[in-house]
Amino acid sequence: MTNLSAFDPATAASLARELTRQREGLEMIPSENFVSEAVLEALGSIATNKYSEGYPGKRYYGGCEFIDEIESLAIARAKQLFGAEHINVQPLSGAPANVAVYSALLSPGDKILGMDLSHGGHLTHGHPVTYMAKIYDFIRYKTTTDGRIDYDNLHAMAIEHKPKMILAGYSAYSREIEYEKVKAIADEVGAITMADIAHIAGLIAAGEMHNPVPLFDVVTTTTHKTLRGPRGGMIICKEIHKKAIDKAVFPGLQGGPHENVIAAKAVAFKEALEPSFKEYAKQIKANAKILEKELASRGYRLMFGGTDNHLLLIDVTPKGVTGAQAEKALDLAGITVNKNMIPDDPRSPMDPSGIRLGTPAITTRGMEEEEMKKIAGWIDEAIMNASDATKLRQIREEVKGMTGRFPLYPNLMY
């Protein structure tokens, strides 16, 4: 076999440029992170060659005895991380995991009470553009004017609509969730409880945020983001739901699992069980709080009043730019964030009022409080000089100087 650069120099060159971009820039999209070289090795392993429809010990193909070992190891480690009764590690990502839960536990037309997208929820929590919104009746709750979940209002909505499921979780909300209150409301109306912890799974695993697993019927997550594993999904549930969940994933919605990804999940779960991961999670939150303080002091309007986790959602329109303009300016300055809608945003999703940024990836590189102060200054400079290409290039060179002190994948090349 020839290596990549010899056989396909075009693809290798693009990968090399992407590696340079990651090395030289500040990755601040809160749903992105840098996996370890051990995770990369497992992800590119020979496990990709094996078809393994079914589950450990119950496969439809032969030759799965070692694949069973890998998947069983991933499951055992994930159970230990979250204190789970049952885990399915086969979902290909977070969205399919959510769809599998709906398919397993609900019937078409059933009502689901979930967070509104513009208030921090996720597309798969019932946004009208998704196919799931055509199958299930989603009712969306919002945050209050001060940016918090109003549990009294959630209770009133549950009494009024009598949903079959209450969904707690988010993709752009920056505060803690009081799962006990959600559980009490669900119990009162006889609803199934579901939590989507895709963004905060690593913080929960490290004990830095509340864990819904002991309370809720089912919990879904991605395995990247703060958990710092490969891109993939996972479903955690009570033993009573095991059969329905497993059947919904396979054969209900997926075929053969991606066992190379599951091998990489197993490695990431082992890393998350290490004491150093707890320190990493603490630093993620500490870094986010510094960014909160520094940006607030510069007059930025922080949604939800600040952060309890790894991310910040910021209204940039008072600074004279839109979210899309801020994203572009920051990108030119070597700082990667994403444009994002704010609660009840009057602007469109492709050119919203806000930006979303977070600290998982830059914390993985070893950056701490002093670096956060400098980064907050660069963010402000870039936004305030969004149309000044010379200034943005200058910031980019300064960013490159900082990232050079925090090497990324020093042994990797294409």
What residues act catalytically? Answer: 51, 53, 196, 222, 225, 231
Interatomic CA distance for residues 21 and 403, integer angstroms: 11
Cis geometry, peptide bond prior to residue 251 (ω within 30 degrees of 0): yes
> Given the DSSP bridges, would you call strands 218-222 and 233-237 parallel, antiparallel or unpaired?
antiparallel
Per the listing, tokens 């749903």 go with: 31
Closest-CA residue to 237 (of 361, 332, 127, 98): 98
**Element at 281 (helix H, strand E):** helix 275-297
What are the residues facing 219 on neighbouring strands? 195, 236
What SS3 class is residue 303? helix
What CA–CA distances, in Å, run from 174 to 52, 154, 164, 220, 313?
Answer: 39, 18, 26, 18, 7
What CA–CA distances, in Å, run from 269 to 87, 205, 206, 222, 228?
Answer: 13, 10, 11, 12, 9
C-beta of residue 18 within 8 angstroms of C-beta of residue 25:
no
The sign of the dihedral angle between the CA atoms of 300, 303, 308, 310 is negative
For 313, phi then psi, to 5°, come to -115, 125
Q: What count of residues does the chain have?
A: 414
Interatomic CA distance for residues 264 and 46, integer angstroms: 12
Interatomic CA distance for residues 310 and 228, integer angstroms: 13
DSSP code of residue 143: B
Per the listing, tokens 């990968």 go with: 15
For 196, phi then psi, to 5°, come to -110, 105
Interatomic CA distance for residues 375 and 401, integer angstroms: 12
Q: Which positions ≥6 away from 11 have C-beta within 8 Å? A: 4
Class of residue 227 by CB neighbours under 10 A (exposed 0-12, middle 13-18, buried 19+): buried
DSSP code of residue 216: S
